[in-house]
Amino acid sequence: MSAEPIAPSSASGSSQDVLEWWRNGVIYQVYVRSFQDSDGDGVGDLDGVRSRLPYLRSLGVDGVWLNPFYASPQHDHGYDVADHRAVHPEYGDLDAFDRLVRDAHRLDIKVIVDVVPNHCSIEHPWFEEAVAAGPGSPERGRFHFADGRGEYGELPPNNWRSIFGGPAWRRISEPDGSPGQWYLHTFAPEQADFNWRDPDVADHFEEVLRFWLDRGVDGLRIDVAHGLHKREGLPDHPFAIDDELTGDPVNPYAWNQPEVHDVWRSWRALAEGYSERTGRPRALIGEVGLLDAAQLADYQRPDELHQCFFFEFLRAPWDAEEFSKVIDRGLGTVAAAGSPVAWVLNNHDMPRSVTRYAGGAPGVAHGDIDLGLTRARAAALLMLALPGSAYLYQGEELGLPEVTDLPDHVLTDPMFRRTDGARRGRDGCRVPLPWAAGQDSFGFSPLGTPVPTWLPQPEWFAHHSVDRQLGSGESMLQLYREAIAVRRRVPALSSVRFRWLPADSGVVAFTRGDGVACVVNCSPRPVCAPVGSQLLLGSDPEVGEKLPPNTAGWFLLEVAR
Ligand code: GLC
């Protein structure tokens, strides 16, 4: 940025200021399996999460989103649900869940749980009943069972690919032992897709929603929210599939069917009923994996989901022009639908931002991790300065890089197996957290735990441990704590008002509310801070009148002082 005085140039957003918690909340995603083990089995659990609530309180987040902890054979770590209303024994039980909600609410932390409506485990009683009941039965009608193609039905019913690799169909044996029908599985073969045209399915999920809302949850994160309905007749995918290994995220017959919006309207009405009756706003947050921002915006129309993750931001490379375009799309398309953008830099499905920004191939090569860390610090200030809500993924606040060298034999992601190792999968961002540098398992499991953590932690996790970072004023953890605190304290940062500032190429600069500027320097040269401004927070101790490359700062502008 030049040393020219900064003047707001164009505006987006409206003058409406923030109301419900989900509109500008900072939500912390807990991958329960990897957060904190309370009972010494090497696997995280709900009581472990509860024991760390004070940590989350001091981080300053508004809520937690818990990845699935339901009864499940764990082929996809809980996204293969066998009973949506029971807790998987490794993670605790319903009493542990109730304790967690109670304590979280005492600390004013909202609780969001995951709902997985697209599919269930093949160990779900409904699926077992469907196999037993035979072709044409109402039980099979709850899923997508179809006869195979070929003379003997030996070929899958259509050409769809599974997102985790291979065909999206598996053949069963009929109860008499003969080779039978096929069922659709968009993900792993252990995850059978529901047929949302069968009213039993909608009724079942309404009960599931009520079950968790009655237990006091504040929000529901909805898995694969664009995928519930499939095109009637399940026609072949019409185009050549580029990716031979895994499924096509834009298969026009598998995703984004118009009927899905009816589901969100009815869920919204149900959630609003709870909000009105209890006076506590309940929110629906969609995982909508569509690449088109306009299509995504449709999911957050005023009578549909409250908000959806904005994954374009997570996918953007370290590049000012890309960031600016993506932010414009978020604010201009998604937010224009009347709902705030849910910004996200990390989650349990993607290589961690430190590694993505490190200049190496994401998830494969290490690149320059120090560079990645410096940029991830700046990206955190960028995200937390944007209007809308922000979703952090556990370990992001510790600056954890992806663990890229887990040995093959410990990998658990179905993607690894289904692609014969060509895709290493997502285990590298799911390694149990380091809490205390000097302890076994870095404090993840209780002292004296005889078993190893479910995924091995690398030695270098010690440098990222919570205890070390609490002792260092300049750690990533302290930066996140401070940024969240400033965001709460400075009203401009809770405003929906946003204006781009004129800036040199390689620089992202905008104002929020009345007089706070965020400047991110993605260029290779130092840039000047806004003239006459006062630094509120820098991503790096060097940020002051100038911002070195790969840094960001929040500034109080002269007009506001
Ligand atoms: C979502 C989840 C992912 C899971 C998949 C299948 O994308 O985020 O972890 O594997 O759905 O349920």
Question: Which atom number of ligand 1 is nearest to the Cα of residue 164?
Answer: 10
pTM: 0.95
The answer to whether position 230 is within a domain reads: yes
Tell me if 243 is assigned to some domain.
no
- 142 with 267, same domain? no
Residues 272 and 394 in one domain: yes
State in Å: Cα 117 to ligand 1 middle: 11
Same-domain check for residues 338 and 441: yes
Whether residue 312 has its Cβ less than 6 Å from ligand 1? no
Q: Do 408 and 459 belong together in one domain?
A: yes
Let me know whether 130 and 108 are in one domain. no
What confidence category does residue 362 fall into, taking pLDDT thresholds of 50, 70 and 90?
very low
Cα–Cα distance for residue pair 466/479, rounded to 1 Å? 13
Residue 249 lies in a domain: no
Each residue's pLDDT tens digit, 285-315: 999 999 899 999 999 999 999 999 999 999 9
pLDDT of 455-489, one tens digit each? 999 999 999 999 999 999 999 999 999 999 999 99
Q: 419 and 328 in one domain?
A: yes
Per the CB < 8 A criterion, the answer to whether 316 and 294 are in contact is no
Q: Quote the domain boundaries for residue 147.
A: 125-193
Is the CB–ligand 1 distance for residue 193 below 6 Å? Answer: no
3-class secondary structure per residue, 1-47: CCCCCCCCCEEECCCCCCCCHHHHCEEEEECHHHCCCCCCCCCCCHH
Are residues 55 and 41 located together in one domain of the fold?
Answer: yes
CATH code assigned at 535: 2.60.40.1180
Residue 560 predicted with pLDDT over 90: no
Is 223 assigned a catalytic role?
Answer: yes
Instruction: Provide the domain count of the chain.
Output: 3
Query: What pLDDT is recorded for position 68?
Result: 98
- Same domain for 150 and 166, yes or no, is yes
- What 3-state DSSP class applies to 129? helix
Q: Are 179 and 296 contained in the same domain?
A: no
Residue 113, Ramachandran bin (φ over 0: left; ψ between -120 and 50: alpha; else beta): beta
Please list the residues that pair with 120 across neighbouring strands: 192
Query: Among the three residues 159, 178, 193, which one is the final residue of a domain in this structure?
Result: 193
Tell me: the pLDDT tens digits for 327-341?
Answer: 999 999 988 888 999
Q: pLDDT for 263-293, tens place per residue?
A: 999 999 999 999 999 999 999 999 999 989 9
Closest residue by Cα to atom 5, ligand 1, is: 79
In a domain, 9, yes or no: no
Span of 170-184, 227-241, 363-377 with lowest mean pLDDT? 363-377
Active site annotation includes 200: no
**Residue nearest ligand 1's atom 2 by CA:** 223
